[in-house]
Amino acid sequence: MAILLIAEHDNAALKSATLSTVTAATQIGGDIDLLIVGSGCTAVADSAAKVPGVRKVLVADNAAYDHEIAENVADLIKGLASDYSHILSPATTNGKNFMPRVAALLDVGQISEIMSVESADTFKRPIYAGNAIATVQSLDAIKVITVRGTSFDPAAAEGGSASIETLSQVSDTGLSRLVSEELAKSDRPELTTAKVIVAGGRGMGDKAHFEMLDTLADKLGAAVGATRAAVDAGFVPNDYQIGQTGKVVAPELYIGVGLSGAIQHLAGMKDSKVIVAINKDEDAPIFQVADYGLVADLFEAVPELEKAL
């Protein structure tokens, strides 16, 4: 049994979600090969080869794979699949984009966002915005799976010495092409891997008020997140969104400010270790999952909290 794991990377290093997926692969058992696919991504191979437990690092570096265009990446993976019993990827937007395409090309099903490995063919995954946990079994010869990063501890990044193999085959379907990319710039930790997150909702009232959370976040070394309401109101960009349709986070400490705690938001944060809620409405649903709740006006409580730290 061998596992092909498609790495999430930024052309320089592996993303933490990849290391969490390595842990999931280790629990399934078998030889693990890491596929680095992209354009100008060879620098990642060296760091990937140092991950303990990895047998081989495969590098597919070509302009056709720039920004991991789904059609071309899926075609490449399909060509490699016959050597593997499992194909895994982190459940990032990239993985979610190309993995179902891979599965359909292989004529197999896919299991999305697993949160635990029960056996080599049986997995647990959240359904209904995390309000139920399904145990599902794949009856297919090749199991195509995406892994929820926050459900598995990241594997060690150093200590291994895998061999590196450069793939020469190129899949260019010519079906789609990247025009541009607009990435939000942030010096703060990445939302999905941050140890502390400060999130704001509609109660923040205004874009300018989010600066209060920025200041608080900087003091805590935290990332800033938001609810859909805050994104729709234009307070923050969409990649701040935490929830069923945004990012799923599970930090050590999550501080929710001026947000009610709708089902769809809770789906993205209720596995946080400690949840703090600051809301002036004492009946807000967020207090039902908060370890520590403070019923207060956030415009007084947040500056006070920042001062106290």
Total chain residues near other proteins (CB under 8 A): 88
Question: CB 288 → other proteins: shortest distance, Å?
Answer: 8
Question: CB 93 → other proteins: shortest distance, Å?
Answer: 5
Question: CB 47 → other proteins: shortest distance, Å?
Answer: 19
Which positions from 146 through 175 interact with other proteins, judged by CB under 8 A?
173, 175
Nearest to 166 by CA among 56, 70, 12, 19: 56
- Which residue in the set 35, 59, 69, 197 belongs to the binding site for other proteins (CB under 8 A)? 69
Bridge partners, 278 (sequence order): 257, 294
Which positions from 111 through 150 interact with other proteins, judged by CB under 8 A?
111-113, 122, 126-140
Amino acid residing at 76: L
Which positions from 188 through 217 interact with other proteins, judged by CB under 8 A?
192, 196
Burial label, 239 (beta-carbon count in 10 A; 0-12, 13-18, 19+):
middle
Question: CB 233 → other proteins: shortest distance, Å?
Answer: 12
Contact 274, 222 (CB under 8 A): no
Please identify, using beta-carbon distances, which residue of 8 and 33 lies nearer to other proteins: 8
Angle, CA of 179, 182 and 183, to the nearest 5°:
135
Collect all residues with Cβ–Cβ distance below 8 Å to 247 and sequence separation of at least 6. 191, 192, 225, 239, 241, 268
Which positions from 7 through 66 interact with other proteins, judged by CB under 8 A?
none
Which positions from 218 through 257 interact with other proteins, judged by CB under 8 A?
220, 228, 231-232, 237-239, 244-245, 247, 252-253
- Which residue in the set 62, 89, 110, 260 belongs to the binding site for other proteins (CB under 8 A)? 110
Q: How far apart are CA 148 and CA 124, in angstroms?
A: 11
